[in-house]
Chain A
Amino acid sequence: MATQLQSIGAHPRANIRVDLQVIAGMIPPGSRVLDIGCGDGELLDYLVHFRQVDGRGMEISQAGVNNCVAHGLSVIQGDADTDLKDYPSDAFDYVILSQTLQATYDPREVLRQLVRIGKRAIVSFPNFGAWHVRLKLLWSGKMPVTDSYDVAWYETPNIHLCTIDDFAELCADVGIAIERGMVLDAGGRPRALRAPGFLANLLGEQGLFVLTRTG
């Protein structure tokens, strides 16, 4: 959908990664959105230009931030572990944490902050419970290196890997409600499986959850 803002930046990116499209589809036009770990701004750019959101980004890499700002996006250099506490509660309609939770120092606190500053949080992460990951560990006896975990254990930024069931358990422990859960396949496409659930945890490549505060 073309908008008057479409000409911002050199080339608004209409074709984004499939899993990002799934996330974008969950966000109503006009929402206030914070994308944490926004990278080079692929999803944020799409949301601003094609979903007319009031979009902000946070990214840990300075090069990523500078690229985003040079592209006309509102992005700050910041760290999910330390910089979410500054935001007031309910500052955003949606807070997105895509493929970043596993790299945070304190995922539990990050999740708490997400549902505090956002009315809803959308969180996606690679599922360490996927069948082929389980098999690799079982057969080789070594930490799996896969498409989602493509870095050796000693240099991976992914320090808090979890399965979909782990994630659901943590949400329950800290009083976060799962409003919607799904799993994606290796191509980022949704699979028709209820998440969390035994099959989702076995067959899902990524978990994708919409979270809210309880009570």
Chain B
Amino acid sequence: MTNSSPGLSAASPLLPGKRLVIPADDPLPLDNGGTLGPVTIAYQTYGRLDERRANAVLVCHALTGDQYVAETHPITGKPGWWETLVGPGRVLDTDRFFIICANVVGGCMGTTGPKEIDPATGQPYGLSFPVITIGDMVRAQKHLIDSLGIDSLFCVVGGSMGGMQVLQWAAAYPDKVFAAMPIATAARHSAQNIAFHEVGRQAIMADPDWRGGAYLTEGTRPGRGLSVARMAAHITYLSETALHRKFGRNLQDREALSYGFDAEFQVESYLRHQGSTFIERFDANSYLYITRAMDYFDLARDFGGQLAHAFRGSKARFCVVSFTSDWLFPTSESRALVHALNAAAANVSFVEIPTDKGHDAFLLDEPELFKVLGGFVEGCAERRGLKR
């Protein structure tokens, strides 16, 4: 192996964790009309499944997240991305619930995606990987849940793209979801969000090292393009207030303006850092595919244009959460979702958490968020008959 980090290698044999393989002779049906197989699903679990198999919680990760939700990341060495919520004594208490988190189809942390080897050619898929959807991701997760012998999930939870998967779960498998927590998300990707994603994709494709998507076989890496994509996206995860509070117009490592194009302002330096660390752990083609999956997400379209029909007859208890300063998935999107849930007479709670931290707030230490989710989970657990 000549690659400096496992995250950028063609295959991911070194990444720790569990694997499920959907065999080639019974492949995963895709929304594009085709199939994909074999499919490896890389996943992690925490806690223990109880005797009734009633305490399973599926955590769905966001665009650049992965299955390492509550443990040190094997590549970055950073804490799990949702350790604030998942862990012993946390809202999703690993001493009480069986937590499952799987890398999405199209991802780059061990689940089959564009950087893995296509068995038909012996080469990485690259752009020959099929365009996948949120529905495909969830269909793959359903395989995983079935393989674990779980008939119904106590809870499906996720933020941003993870929240889209939560909604897809509730719509596609209404009998399998007892409680659903879609956080900082929407039932469809907005034009503005598609536009931001397109900027990111164009940045990647404009990098000469992208090589028409064949960089893995050609031995290059479109780090600059992917880095710019991440920088642009990262701005959308924050808020103007938070950026100002954190950086203002402060200069980076200097007393005065230098009249050049170095990272003179702290905010520039911060974004460059975000970009350069991101390329160490993420695959550029995965970024194209997963952003595309989000762009395609429009739950109402699958139900005759009526979002309420997606939730008709749903017995799930929903807790919809938005954040005041989130302009990527603003409260208006959550409210539209709540209106549809009301129209379906679903059991729904809806809270907007006051914060200036923007979209990223769902990943951060927000006591009000934990208080609300804790109460919701507790109420659902009692109704499910789960022991404290």
Q: Is A77 touching B343 in the complex (CB atoms < 8 A)?
A: no
Q: Taking the complex as formed, is A87 at the interface, i.e. its CB lies under 8 A from any CB of chain B?
A: yes
Contact between B351 and A65 (Cβ–Cβ < 8 Å)? yes
- B35 interface contact, C-beta 8 A: no
B348 touching A72, Cβ below 8 Å: no
The answer on a CB contact under 8 Å between B339 and A69 is no
**Given contacts A8-B382, A69-B372, A69-B376, A75 and B342 within 8 Å (CB-CB):** no
Is there a chain A Cβ closer than 8 Å to B31's Cβ?
no
A62 with B376: CB separation less than 8 A: no
User: Which residues of chain A come closer than 8 Å to B353, judged between CB atoms?
Assistant: 66
Cβ A76 vs Cβ B343 within 8 A: no
Report Cα–Cα, A5/B372, bound state, in Å. 18
Q: Which residues of B sit under 8 angstroms from A8, Cβ to Cβ?
A: 378-379, 382
Chain A CB within 10 Å, residue with most, of B340, B347, B375:
B375
Q: Which residue of B lies closest to A66 (CB)?
A: B351
How distant is the Cα of A8 from the Cα of B351 in the complex, in angstroms? 19
Residue of B nearest to A63 (CB): B354
Chain B residue nearest to A6 (CB atoms) is: B382
Contacts of A66 in B (CB 8 A): 351, 353, 368, 371-372
A70 proximity list for chain B (CB < 8 A): 371-372, 374-376
Q: How large is the interface on B (under 10, 10 to 19, 20 to 34, 35 or more residues)?
A: 20 to 34
Q: Chain B residues with Cβ under 8 A from A76's Cβ?
A: 320, 338, 342, 348-350
Q: Which of A69-98 contact B (CB under 8 A)?
A: 69-78, 83, 86-88, 91
Contact A9 B379 (CB under 8 A): yes
Q: Distance (Å) between the CB of A94 and the closest chain B CB?
A: 14
Q: How distant is the Cα of A72 from the Cα of B368 in the complex, in angstroms?
A: 14
Complex contact A72–B351 (CB within 8 A): no
Q: Do B379 and A72 touch across chains, with their CB atoms under 8 A apart? A: yes
Report the minimal beta-carbon distance from B344 to chain A, rounded to whole angstroms. Answer: 8
Q: How large is the interface on A (under 10, 10 to 19, 20 to 34, 35 or more residues)?
A: 20 to 34
Residue of A whose beta carbon sits closest to that of B352: A62
Complex CA gap A66/B340 in Å reads 20
A87 touches B351 (CB 8 A): no
Q: Which residues of B contact A71 (CB under 8 A)?
A: 375, 379
CB pair A87–B343 under 8 Å, yes or no, is: yes
Instruction: Give the chain B neighbours of A9 by CB distance below 8 A.
Output: 375, 378-379
Is residue B78 contacting chain A, with contact meaning CB distance below 8 A?
A: no
The answer to whether A56 has its CB under 8 Å from any CB of chain B is yes
Are A72 and B382 touching (Cβ within 8 A)?
Answer: yes
CB pair A83 B339 closer than 8 Å: yes
CB pair B347–A74 under 8 Å, yes or no, is yes
In the complex the two chains form, is B348's CB within 8 Å of A74's CB?
yes
Interface centre among B320, B338, B345 (most CB of A within 10 A): B345
For B176, the chain A residues whose CB sits under 8 A away are: none
A214 at the binding interface (Cβ < 8 Å): no
Q: Which of B342, B376, B382 is packed against the most chain A CB atoms within 10 Å?
A: B342
User: B-side interface residues toward A, CB under 8 Å?
Assistant: 317, 319-320, 338-340, 342-345, 347-354, 368, 371-372, 374-376, 378-379, 382-383
Question: What are 29 pairs between A and B in contact, CB < 8 Å?
Answer: A56-B347, A62-B351, A62-B352, A66-B368, A69-B319, A69-B349, A69-B375, A70-B376, A71-B379, A72-B375, A72-B382, A73-B379, A74-B317, A74-B348, A75-B349, A75-B350, A76-B342, A76-B348, A76-B349, A76-B350, A77-B352, A78-B338, A83-B342, A86-B339, A86-B340, A86-B342, A86-B343, A88-B344, A91-B345
A residues adjacent to B (C-beta < 8 A): 4-5, 7-9, 54, 56, 62, 65-66, 68-78, 83, 86-88, 91
